[in-house]
Structure formats: C-alpha cells, structure tokens
Amino acid sequence: MSNNKPKVVVTRKLPDPVETRMMELFDVQLNLEDKPMSQNELAAAVKTCDVLVPTVTDHIDSGVLAQAGDQFRLIANYGTGVDHIDLATARQRGILVTNTPDVLTEDTADMTMALILAVPRRLMEGEHALRDGRWSGWSPTWMLGHRIHGKRLGIVGMGRIGQAVAKRAKGFGLSIHYHNRNRVHETVEQELEATYWESLDQMLARMDFISVNCPHTPATYHLLSARRLKLLQPHAVVVNTARGEIIDENAMIRMLKADELAGAGLDVYENEPAINPKFLELSNVTLLPHMGSATCEGRIDMGEKVLINIKTFADGHSPPDRVLLDI
C-alpha cells in the first residue's frame, strides 16, 4: 500500500458520523443511495480499491475475489457475522478479513428477549386485533397466552449473545439450559445457573423455549433440521435472531401449521430479504425484518470498529478484530 490514504469502497449507506470520519481518514467511495451492489459492481470495486467495507447483504464469493487487484488486502466487514464472505478464498489470496464483535451483543440480546416474551403472550396478535377493530373490551377468556416464568429456555450457542440472553432470561424467572460446541467456564455456569447439554437432541426434547444464538457456518446449516425440530414438544416456542439458515424453515412451517410447535419468533430468514410466504399465513409466528441489532448506538459503534480496523491496517499493523481464517 502506498503512503497515500487507502482507497475504501463502502457498499451501503452508513450512519452520517461514521461516513464523515471515513471521509476525513481515507479516500472513500460512499453509497449514498443505499442501493445494494451487484456482484459485478463488487467485482469492479475490488479491482481498484485497497479496502472493501461490505455488509451482510453483500456476497463476497470466490467470483468476486478472483477479480481482486494486487492492492486489495482488507475486507473490513460492517457486522459481526462473516458467513457472506468466502473466507477460504480470502485466505488463499492473502486478504485479511475483520468484523465488529462485541458491540451488538446487548442489542441483539434485547431483541431476543422481546421475542421470547412476544410469542407466548401473543403480543402481535393482540396489536393486530386492536388495529383491526376486533377488540370489544376486556374478557376473562380472550387472547390467552402463556407465562414464561418457571419455564425452561434452551440456548443454542452460548457465546457473547447467548450469555447476554441468559442473563436477561434468568431475570424473568426462566431456567437456563444450553448447548455449545465447547462448555463455558464453570464460573459462567454458576453465575447463570445454567445447565449444559452435550447432546443437542436431548436438550431440545426437554425445553419450553429454544433461542438460536450460534453463528451460521457449514457445520450449523440446518442445525435445527426436520428431525431435530420433531424432538421439540408441541408447546415449545423457537426464537431465532442469529441466521435463518440454521433452521429448516419448511419443516418448521409444517410443524407450526400442524400445531406440532406452539410458535416462533423470527428476525432472520433463510433467503432474506425474501421471506417464505407461508410464514405470513401463520398467526402463531412473530416476524421482524432483521432488526435485532438496529439501534443508533449499535450502528455507530459498528462503524467505529470498522474505522479502527482500517486505520490500524493502513498504519501497517494487524487489525484488532481480524477474523481467524483457520476454517
């Protein structure tokens, strides 16, 4: 890289404070219209820029990376998840990848807890009934839901977000259970009063609520498969604020329609922004448009992480949020 400011291409509209600081520090091409870039546009960008700042809506695959010029050396992802980036090809081409960990933990955990509350208490159904003029006054038997206090919550993925969800859920009187690739430290288990299940199948069969909080990787694609979903009890509720690809959506829809599953709260989808239209026909599903981390504070914090990663890289040092590529 030359001594000049690195050339940075930003693929989506970012908060104004973040873009302003980028303009001060780097030679930046912004996307003021916030129109998602096509694969051809992404390929054209990496031919000439030093750094690309993509988001979850950009698919940085081998085809895009094959077009990268020799000067292209950093993908500073605006977000935590990197399943939309071909990490293996990036590694082969000597391209560093960074992300924005930690800053979205509390926001995503808040939204997860909101869905855990919303589905069994039928909040969206009640709101729609009120707006549609179907509420004629209080009744002792109308719009009955279920309490969450005293129920069991099974967390799939006990990383930062999973632990933050557990802290909130514990405050609501839920019993905390979890399955994780590795067991968390004993002190964390004691603090959360959490029960570890080495077998995901055994945990699923015993829970009242399931919260999906693991990353999407080849190993977790359809982790909640049709077979595993069948293990859930009919009164169980599934909440997903991680990635849609972790759940077999078609299998879950069939179970929801057949009353083999009580409900679901979803903020992410397998083929987003496309949503399976069958979800829209179900009254026992709360659907959100991938807004789990959508807070002003969180988005600015993400941008600050990106800025630090690019500036550190431009100064010749290893970025602090480098994604390990030993996949």
When pLDDT is averaged across residues 148-157 and rounded to a whole number, the result is 98
User: Which residue in 243, 245, 249, 299 is the catalytic one?
Assistant: 243
User: Which residue in 191, 260, 270, 272 is the catalytic one?
Assistant: 272
User: Which residue in 84, 93, 290, 322 is the catalytic one?
Assistant: 290
Q: How far apart are CA 204 and CA 46, in angstroms?
A: 44
When pLDDT is averaged across residues 131-160 and rounded to a whole number, the result is 97
Examine the residue annotation and report whether 243 is marked as an active-site residue of this protein. yes
Q: What is the dihedral of CA 192, 198, 203, 205, to 10 degrees?
A: -170
For 169-185, write each residue's pLDDT tens digit.
999 999 999 999 999 99
Q: How far apart are CA 250 and CA 237, in angstroms?
A: 16
Q: Which CATH class is domain 7-101+296-314?
A: alpha beta
Q: For the chain, where do the domains classified as CATH 3.40.50.720 start and end?
A: 7-101+296-314, 105-287
Predicted confidence band of residue 324 (pLDDT cuts 50, 70, 90): confident
- Mean pLDDT score across all residues of the chain: 96
Examine the residue annotation and report whether 33 is marked as an active-site residue of this protein. no
CA atoms within 13 A on the CB side of 219: 6
Residue 273: asked if its preceding bond is cis (omega within 30°), the reply is: yes
Q: Which fold has domain 105-287?
A: Rossmann fold (3.40.50)
Predicted confidence band of residue 2 (pLDDT cuts 50, 70, 90): very low
| pLDDT for position 179 | 98
